[in-house]
Structure 1
Amino acid sequence: MKKRFFYSFAFIGALLLNGCNGKNANAPETNSVRSSQNLTECKVTVNGLTFDYALNEADQLVTVLENGSIKIKCPEGKDFFCDPNDGKLSNNTLPMLLKKVDNTQPFTLTAKVTPEFTEEGLYNAADLLVYANDTVFQKFCFEQDERGNHRIVTVRTQGTSDDNNHDVVNEPSVYMKISSDTHTIASYYSTDKQEWHMVRLYKNNYPAVLYVGIASQCPVKGECTSLFEEIALNHNNVTDFRMGE
């Protein structure tokens, strides 16, 4: 009788353990990936929004303008990318200006961006960011491609990075927006801040403590100074995730 009770107890325990292990099988392992050692506290206030963290000394590269905008100067060779091809092109040196947010609450980050595009500035871009750590993040970019086109690009990283080219934008500036209702997170762009185009949408599996922010990138040659205007972060989400409104 005691032996049968022991076996029954062991069987139930195994079922419970298996259930616990399988519960979050599809969620990213954000607690096991490497966090950056280069994330430091700072205080950079622009247009009423205070960025309280800097990655790779981004706060040393900014100029806050009197009209409520900000310029970020990026030196040559700075990017954030986890290369899926054995890490050959991996780079985690991008200076990022970040704001800690509560990811259990909705949020929307918006900015008008104007990157410094040059003939030799391959992959120069202005970025909006969602950052959990060095291997779980998203870049939302207005970027120069291999043919010299200026286009919308998204890079989502879960251990390794994907790389997605979207629409070409034949304007020097573009409005960009990232919005989350805690379940879904999506990225949008607009040329007039009226009609928004959705370029990416996925499940919000980021941890409760999260950072959003801005960056200027210059992965290849020269430097890139990007202008960010009309920056805003609020605790609402878009009501129509397809239309971005």
Structure 2
Amino acid sequence: MRKFFFIAGTLMGILVMAGCGNKPAEQTTAAVETTSDSARVSGIPCDVKLPGIHFTKAINGADTSIALSEGGKIRFRAGEKKDFFCDPNEQLSNNTAPILLSAVDNTKPFTLMAKVKPEFTKEGQYNAGVLYIYVNDNFWQKHCFEQDERGQHRIVTVRTVGTSDDNNHDVVTSPAVYMKISSDTRTVASYYSLNKKTWHMVRLYKNNYPSKIWMGISNQCPVDKGSFSDFEELSLTQSSVKDFRMGD
């Protein structure tokens, strides 16, 4: 992917190109918005309705990468070497993972929650089912149930402000976990649970996102030849947890 920045000068315009990955040629015709900081906002309109959430934006063909079943379950597929990451060293940068998004009013509290069951394989390093906060391609956070370098399955969070950090959290032996991201407009926190009752906080920081943001889901397969993740009990509400330490 390439990002194009247009800076008005007193004598002439200057075209600057920057990027955190290489977008496939077939994706270059997708609709693009430009934010005030000139960062690229990916995605095209879609219409995927579930009982607890309505997805209206698709990045990298996400709306064609899903299969819906009764009860609002989604099987989300990703092809070979699909990831979303802005590597500080640029070696691992890749923004080809499909992402489904739903618009959120960030001036109000919100919570995105899902039961996530990724397909973990022998060669599936960094395979993950993912929840997202997305503003643009340079400003986002993902909350993952992911396979690490040693084949362990753990909770991971990545926050990107220009470039991405990478934070490995608890190892989880259950095949599926409940995950959620919640905000009261001032604070954003990410949690996981094995039983939807006891929640474990893995990340908390100041909510410095703009008034309109996007929340969503994704499946990633950065190394292997393709994978899927199952999402169940999806919900997006304009309410937050009451106790940000406990996640209740």
The answer to whether the superposition gives a TM-score over 0.5 is: yes
Match in the other structure for 1:22: none
AA paired with 1:175? Y
- Report how far residue 221 of structure 1 moved: 1.2
Farther-moved stretch of structure 1 (43-52 vs 182-191): 43-52
Match in the other structure for 1:42: 46
8 Å CA contact retained: 2:73, 2:233: yes
Stretches of structure 1 that go unaligned for 5 or more consecutive residues are 1-29
Match in the other structure for 1:232: 235
- Report how far residue 191 of structure 1 moved: 0.2
- Report how far residue 47 of structure 1 moved: 2.6
**Secondary structure class of the residue paired with 2:40:** coil
Runs of 4+ in 1 over 3 A off after TM superposition: none
Which one of the candidate residues 33, 37, 57 is aligned to 1:32? 37
Farther-moved stretch of structure 1 (39-48 vs 125-134): 39-48
- Report how far residue 46 of structure 1 moved: 1.9
Q: Whole-Å Cα distance in 1 between the matches of residues 107 and 205 of structure 2?
A: 16
Stretches of structure 2 that go unaligned for 5 or more consecutive residues are 1-34
Which one of the candidate residues 74, 80, 85 is aligned to 2:84? 80
Question: Could you say which structure has the higher helix fraction?
Answer: 1
Q: Whole-Å Cα distance in 2 between the matches of residues 46 and 135 of structure 1?
A: 28
For each residue in 1:44-81, what CA deviation from the matched residue of structure 2 results, as whole angstroms up to 9, or x when unmatched? 11234210110111000010111221111100111110
Question: Could you say which structure has the higher strand fraction?
Answer: 2
**Secondary structure class of the residue paired with 1:195:** coil
- Report how far residue 195 of structure 1 moved: 0.2
Match in the other structure for 1:147: 150
Q: Whole-Å Cα distance in 1 between the matches of residues 192 and 91 of structure 2?
A: 31
How many residue pairs get aligned? The number is 214
State the superposition RMSD in angstroms.
Answer: 1.0
Q: Whole-Å Cα distance in 2 between the matches of residues 42 and 76 of structure 1?
A: 23
- Report how far residue 133 of structure 1 moved: 0.3
Match in the other structure for 1:207: 210
Bigger Rg over Cα: 1
TM (norm. structure 1) is 0.86
AA paired with 1:109? L
Q: Whole-Å Cα distance in 2 between the matches of residues 168 and 33 of structure 1?
A: 38
Match in the other structure for 2:226: 223
Which one of the candidate residues 146, 164, 175 is aligned to 2:178? 175
Q: Does 1:99 align with 2:80?
A: no
**Secondary structure class of the residue paired with 1:73:** strand
Q: Whole-Å Cα distance in 1 between the matches of residues 159 and 202 of structure 2?
A: 12
- Report how far residue 31 of structure 1 moved: 3.0
TM (norm. structure 2) is 0.85
8 Å CA contact retained: 2:110, 2:237: yes
Q: Whole-Å Cα distance in 2 between the matches of residues 157 and 48 of structure 1?
A: 27
Q: Whole-Å Cα distance in 2 between the matches of residues 81 and 182 of structure 1?
A: 25
- Report how far residue 33 of structure 1 moved: 4.6
AA paired with 2:77? K
8 Å CA contact retained: 2:52, 2:236: no
For each residue in 1:6-41, what CA deviation from the matched residue of structure 2 results, as whole angstroms up to 9, or x when unmatched? xxxxxxxxxxxxxxxxxxxxxxxx7315223x4100
Percent identical pairs in the alignment equals: 60
Q: Whole-Å Cα distance in 1 between the matches of residues 119 and 171 of structure 2?
A: 16
